[in-house]
């Protein structure tokens, strides 16, 4: 069973259909850092990261990782060593801060795009994360919290995501 992103506003899983949002510039087979596009393809998913200081531990089969103040996701195209990886933000590299003041990363699941032997510039920090208004993202997939919480009860660590 796979999560399917059918189009710019529909996420399917099993018998469930959720409204979602994707990258502001649509989809691409050739992801480039900063292009505002959601990558097409079939990818694995990673752990469920969450803000333990703001949210209760959710029901899920995924491994849970509590987001800490020092956690970031490297999006620095000049860093071959850390690009598209979880980092401690005291490094001298550019990064996406996971400990945000807003709600978007209260829950997030990294999508394993450009994951194994990542190529700097081919896209980083592609997540399933929260939205409240379905505004287009920088390339991620956004779900409202109630739908996100339903989805994480259903999926497993070996679930794939197909972005059509």
The per-residue pLDDT for range 65-98, each reduced to its tens digit, is 999 999 999 999 999 999 999 999 987 999 999 9
Give the rounded distance of the alpha carbon of 18 from its chain centre: 16
Q: Give yes or no for a contact between 107 and 4, defined as CB atoms under 8 angstroms apart.
A: no
Paired residues of 39 in beta bridges: 28
Segment 16-72, tens digit of pLDDT: 999 999 999 999 999 999 999 999 999 999 999 999 999 999 999 999 999 999 999
Q: Would you state the pLDDT for residue 90?
A: 80
Q: Give yes or no for a contact between 108 and 129, defined as CB atoms under 8 angstroms apart.
A: yes
Average pLDDT over residues 5-19: 97
Per-residue tokens: 138 = 């920088």
Average pLDDT over residues 1-27: 97
Domains of the chain and CATH, by start: 2-163 (2.40.440.10)
Residue whose C-alpha is closest to residue 139's, from 114, 156, 116: 114
Segment 90-122, tens digit of pLDDT: 879 999 999 999 999 999 999 999 999 999 999
Q: In Å, how far are 54, 126, 157, 161 from 68, measured between CA atoms?
A: 12, 19, 22, 26
Compute how many other C-beta atoms are within 10 angstroms of the C-beta atom of residue 23: 22
Segment 112-149, tens digit of pLDDT: 999 999 999 999 999 999 999 999 999 999 999 999 99
pTM above 0.75, yes or no: yes
pLDDT of 2 higher than 80:
yes
pLDDT of 9 higher than 90:
yes
């Amino acid at each position: 069973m796979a999560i399917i992103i059918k189009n710019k506003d529909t996420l399917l899983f099993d018998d469930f259909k959720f409204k979602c949002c994707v990258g502001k510039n649509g989809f691409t087979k050739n992801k480039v850092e900063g292009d505002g596009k959601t990558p097409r393809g079939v990818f694995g998913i990673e752990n469920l990261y969450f803000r333990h200081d703001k949210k209760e531990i959710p029901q899920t089969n995924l491994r849970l990782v509590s987001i800490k103040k020092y956690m970031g996701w490297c999006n620095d195209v000049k860093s071959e060593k850390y690009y598209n990886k979880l980092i401690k933000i005291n490094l001298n590299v550019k990064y996406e801060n996971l400990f945000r003041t807003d709600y978007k990363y209260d829950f997030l699941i990294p999508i394993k795009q450009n994951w194994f032997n990542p190529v700097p510039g081919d896209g980083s920090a592609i997540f399933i994360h929260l939205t409240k208004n379905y505004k287009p993202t920088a390339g991620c997939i956004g779900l409202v919290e109630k739908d996100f919480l339903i989805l994480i009860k259903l999926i497993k660590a070996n679930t794939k995501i197909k972005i059509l």
